[in-house]
Amino acid sequence: MSSLFLNFRKTAKRLKSHTVVRNAFLMYVVQFSGYIFPLIALPYLAHKLSTEMFGWVAFAQTFNWYFITLTDYGFNLTATRAIAIAQDDRTAISRTYSAVLTAKVLLTILGLVIMLAVVVAAPRLRPYLALFTVSFLSVIGNLLFPMWLFQGMQKMEHVAIRDFLAKIISLVTLFLFVHGDQDYLIAAGTQSGGQLLAGIVGLLTVRPKLGVRFQIPLWSEVREQFIAGWPAFLSLSVSGYAVVTNTVIIGLRAPVSEIAYYNAAQRLIAAMRSMVSPLSTAIYPHASQKAVRSEADVVEFVRKYALIFLAPFLVVGILLIVASPWALPRFLGEKFHDSVPVLQIMALTPALLVLIQVYSTYYMLACGYDKEWMRIMLTTVVVNFAVLLPLMFVIRGSLTLAITGLVSETSAAFLYWRFYRGRAMRLREATALT
């Protein structure tokens, strides 16, 4: 018995010291503050705001994801990979950091101009200009928080706790100052302001903790980052914009309460999906380093761990389908009863996201199959609109959004798995021949 205990302690100590395990845990802390705290705020907002005003706040936040995707520009993948490969070369890392941050500033300014122009030009949106502007603070927070730098250097411990505390402040502010529809701007501001505060804290951590300095880059260096990030941006923006556009289309066509029903369910699903991201952000640099040595090593890694990563999300998804008719009205109130079937339809999408990350990010991107990855991404966008456009005329908006998301992610998971399986078989055949 004592030997079993000693073995357990040794295993636990080894896992604790492993870079991937440690970074995954710290990313869970960051993601907890980014998704679980809004999840805690969800029932409070659901009870304090009407479904209409809840819907408008959700619509403004969703609309600004256009610009978060724009400022990300695929740097979370391309810059992370470049920094992970450089690793111990602080000069090269500082150049990459400076060029990427400058590029993101330019993209944020462009996004702000576009956002203001669209909202002012649209009669239905114009009365809520202040709401859309306050929600844009989340875009600025995304600009300032150099997650890609910390991921690439595998130094998440320097930001996790600070980010966690910033989000606590945001949550407390929400509870203190939001009491009804008249406080809808504060409701939006506490959420986007939390992201802004976290971004400021993260940026101030870079120099003292990582030894990475900002230096005004040459335009050629900024241009190089734009070129490197373009394939990832094209794929991610097309996919990300498709999801946001789904909501925008339904929001402009259907009652805004349909956005409220969908967003209430989507926030619960987002909390589950957030548990996938720490694995991805911690494992992707590790897989990239493996890929430099051998593609076969990455194939074996994926084969070994895919089902282990999937299992807990599959179990939780099934439990959510069974429990939601009873639990959701008690959590959000009876006025959100129409969110129940939406939540049930979306319950398995976190499990699908695990498969997508495993086969696309851990394998395809780590091994440099950027173009093939992009083709599959574009295919899923076609599937998305092929499902959305006819459905929106026959069923209510929130169900249309949920079904479209489920079908799109199912097709993406299948296509990424099929590519991985084909490459794995060819590698095995090549090994057998030699």
Task: Reduce the secondary structure of the chain to three states and give it as a string.
Answer: CHHHHHHHHHHHHHHHHCHHHHHHHHHHHHHHHHHHHHHHHHHHHHHHCCHHHHHHHHHHHHHCHHHHHHHHCCHHHHHHHHHHHHCCCHHHHHHHHHHHHHHHHHHHHHHHHHHHHHHHHCCCCHHHHHHHHHHCHHHHHHHHCCHHHHHHHCCHHHCHHHHHHHHHHHHHHHHHHCCCHHHHHHHHHHHHHHHHHHHHHHHHHHHHHHCCCCCCCCHHHHHHHHHHHHHHHHHHHHHHHHHHHHHHHHHHHCCHHHHHHHHHHHHHHHHHHHCCHHHHHHHHHHHHHHHHHCHHHHHHHHHHHHHHHHHHHHHHHHHHHHHHHHHHHHHHCHHHHHHHHHHHHHCCHHHHHHHHHHHHHHHHHCCCCHHHHHHHHHHHHHHHHHHHHHHCCCCCHHHHHHHHHHHHHHHHHHHHHHHHHHHHHHHHHHHHHC
The region that residue 333 occupies, defined by phi over 0 for left and psi between -120 and 50 for alpha, beta otherwise, is: left
pLDDT score of 170: 82
Q: Are 82 and 267 in contact (CB under 8 A)?
A: no
pLDDT score of 283: 72
CA triplet 113, 114, 120: central angle to 5 degrees? 90
> Would you write out the chain's pLDDT as a tens digit for each of its 434 residues?
445 444 445 544 554 445 555 555 655 566 556 667 777 888 888 889 998 999 999 899 889 988 998 998 888 878 888 888 777 777 888 888 889 999 999 999 999 999 999 999 988 889 999 999 999 999 999 898 887 887 777 666 656 666 677 778 888 888 999 999 999 999 999 888 878 888 888 888 888 777 788 888 889 889 988 988 887 787 667 767 888 899 889 988 888 899 999 999 988 898 788 777 666 666 766 676 676 677 777 777 878 878 888 889 999 999 999 999 999 988 888 889 999 999 999 999 999 998 998 888 888 877 778 788 888 888 998 999 999 999 999 999 999 999 999 999 999 999 999 998 888 888 887 776 66
The region that residue 50 occupies, defined by phi over 0 for left and psi between -120 and 50 for alpha, beta otherwise, is: beta
pLDDT score of 11: 45
Give the count of alpha carbons within 13 A of 291, CB side only: 20
pLDDT score of 319: 94
126 is written with which tokens?
């114009």
pLDDT score of 16: 47
